[in-house]
Amino acid sequence: MGGGGDGIAAAAPPPPAPAASGLLARQEMRRAGGFSAEEVRRDFPVLGRTVRGGKPLVYLDNASTTQKPSAVIDAVSDYYRNSNANTHRAVYALAEESTEAYESARERIARFVNAPRREEIVFVRGTTEAINLVAHSWGRANVGKGDVIVTTEYEHHSNIVPWQLLAEEKGARLEYVDVDAGSGELDLGQLERYLAGGGVKLVAFSLVSNVLGTITDAARIVRACGEAGAATLVDGAQAVPHMRVDVRALGCDFFAFSGHKMLGPTGVGVLWAKKEALESMAPFHGGGDMIREVRKSGSTWNDLPYKFEAGTPSIADVVGLGAAVDYLEGLGMDNVRRHEEELTRYALEKISAVRGIAVYGPRDASRTGGVISFNFADVHPHDVAQIVDGEGVAIRSGHHCAQILMERLDVAATNRASFYVYNTRGDVDALVRALDRVAELFKLE
């Protein structure tokens, strides 16, 4: 990666974040490069518990959802204890505080991904809703019969099914960029051939694969789409939590991510799009707060971003996401990435060394997010996951909402271990020990 259109790991320092809680001294130390996962763990109450008869919890399902630090739990709890009221409506004190908390989170989140304007940050339920919003509001107006939408074989179902629905409704064609089953990389030459074929209205891709961890060459895709006049939608669900993302530098048209995968609460996510795009789009849901005036003869729409935020939003969860962003800024996203890259390098080495393990996707930690998918001899992933769970180790088994990728890899399912700020080499060692137990029970040589 690198160059002008590269929105990941850009070198510019983040704007100063507001103080999260009493963690300032620790944050200063971390900024200076003193990141310690062991220390980070202490901020996460759930990591202190045991499971399955006294085994320490080893949580390695972070691509699915992440645990929450006290700062986030307290922010949500404090909101309900002290400030709960609906936003943007009433004039009393609580409503003012609630609106302020909600809008302040929007501003911090905008800064976190370097969005040019706060009103370009639309709160939705999660990445899935963000993509559906684009398919509905932008897709219906901009994709017609015979047009082409391109996605990739390593997308999550949430970046496939909305496009299947749209293509079916409009009589458009949906194409998939191949994934090389060996390297886990997209065949971007094929994408360029689709673009050269004409009629491509949108290219939708994830910045980091939720199964293989592959970091997509977004700069190349955005550049090629720009030249071909195709819009781009980036699923950032597996990227924003783990590396510095700069939507402005990335240059895409739409960018989606989820709060719960970045230490925030469930039920809140973000769609970012350029103001001009959002202004040109029809509303997604109709209801309260998204209107300017409602008459029997019809209605007019509220300003951005409220046009896309019908109904009472998930206020406490937005406040919690704001706290999560503060927490991550405190750790420093460059430290987060460095930690995960080091841990992934260690894990790739340890897991690959287990006899009978087949790892899918890039083997080079600098080319991958903190996600490792693997299969263990002929043992079904569900059995592997259940046995390692008996040792307190939580990994995911299944198709990871990526059945098209499973077909490409020619497997029904995989095991997946995925890392975050609080994972340590000790967690990887615990997984490898638990895999020994699988070998023992299934009498693997």
Any idea which residues carry the catalytic annotation? 401
Residue 432: strand, helix, or coil: helix
**Contact call for residue 445 and other proteins (CB under 8 A):** no
Backbone angles phi, psi at 94, to 5 degrees: -60, -40
**Contact call for residue 389 and other proteins (CB under 8 A):** yes
Question: Other C-beta atoms within 10 Å of 84: how many?
Answer: 14
**Contact call for residue 156 and other proteins (CB under 8 A):** no
**Contact call for residue 88 and other proteins (CB under 8 A):** no
Q: How near is the Cβ of 354 to other proteins at its closest, in Å?
A: 17
DSSP state of 145: T
DSSP state of 80: I
Written as one letter, the residue type at 112 is F
Alpha-carbon Rg for the chain, nearest whole angstrom, is 22
**Contact call for residue 442 and other proteins (CB under 8 A):** yes
Encode 160-188: b = buried (16+ Cβ within 10 Å), e = exposed.
Answer: bbbbeebbeebebebbbbbbeeeebbbeb
Distance CA 322, CA 106 (A): 7
Nearer to other proteins, 55 or 285 (CB): 55
Residue 242: strand, helix, or coil: coil
**Contact call for residue 399 and other proteins (CB under 8 A):** yes
Q: Are 154 and 179 in contact (CB under 8 A)?
A: yes
Q: Are 345 and 399 in contact (CB under 8 A)?
A: no
**Contact call for residue 441 and other proteins (CB under 8 A):** yes
Q: How near is the Cβ of 295 to other proteins at its closest, in Å?
A: 46
Q: Which stretch binds other proteins (CB under 8 A): 2-10, 68-76, 167-175, 394-402?
A: 394-402
**Do you find a cis peptide bond into 313, omega within 30 degrees of 0?**
no
Q: Which stretch binds other proteins (CB under 8 A): 83-91, 98-106, 294-302, 387-395?
A: 387-395
Nearer to other proteins, 55 or 88 (CB): 55
Output the six-digit token pair for 321. Answer: 């996401």
Angle (CA) 258-99-278 rounded to 5° is: 50
Give the residue, chosen from 222, 387, 402, 430, that forms a contact with other proteins under the rule CB under 8 A: 387
Distance CA 209, CA 202 (A): 19
Give the residue, chosen from 188, 277, 412, 432, that forms a contact with other proteins under the rule CB under 8 A: 412
**Contact call for residue 382 and other proteins (CB under 8 A):** yes
Burial of 48 (0-12, 13-18, 19+ CB in 10 A): exposed
Q: Which stretch binds other proteins (CB under 8 A): 126-134, 227-235, 299-307, 406-414?
A: 406-414
Distance CA 225, CA 44 (A): 42
Q: How near is the Cβ of 445 to other proteins at its closest, in Å?
A: 13
Nearer to other proteins, 52 or 425 (CB): 52
Give the residue, chosen from 365, 406, 409, 430, that forms a contact with other proteins under the rule CB under 8 A: 406
Nearer to other proteins, 349 or 436 (CB): 436
DSSP state of 16: P
Nearer to other proteins, 103 or 389 (CB): 389
Give the residue, chosen from 187, 383, 404, 432, that forms a contact with other proteins under the rule CB under 8 A: 383
DSSP state of 8: B
Length of the chain: 445
Inter-axis angle of helices 24-31 and 315-331, to 10 degrees? 50
**Contact call for residue 96 and other proteins (CB under 8 A):** no
Restricted to residues 48-67, the positions that interact with other proteins (CB under 8 A) are 52-53, 55
Output the six-digit token pair for 123. Answer: 């709160």
**Contact call for residue 377 and other proteins (CB under 8 A):** no
**Contact call for residue 413 and other proteins (CB under 8 A):** yes
Q: How near is the Cβ of 411 to other proteins at its closest, in Å?
A: 9
**Contact call for residue 437 and other proteins (CB under 8 A):** yes
Nearer to other proteins, 114 or 375 (CB): 375
**Contact positions toward other proteins, by CB under 8 A?**
52-53, 55, 378-383, 386-387, 389-392, 397-399, 406, 412-413, 437, 441-443
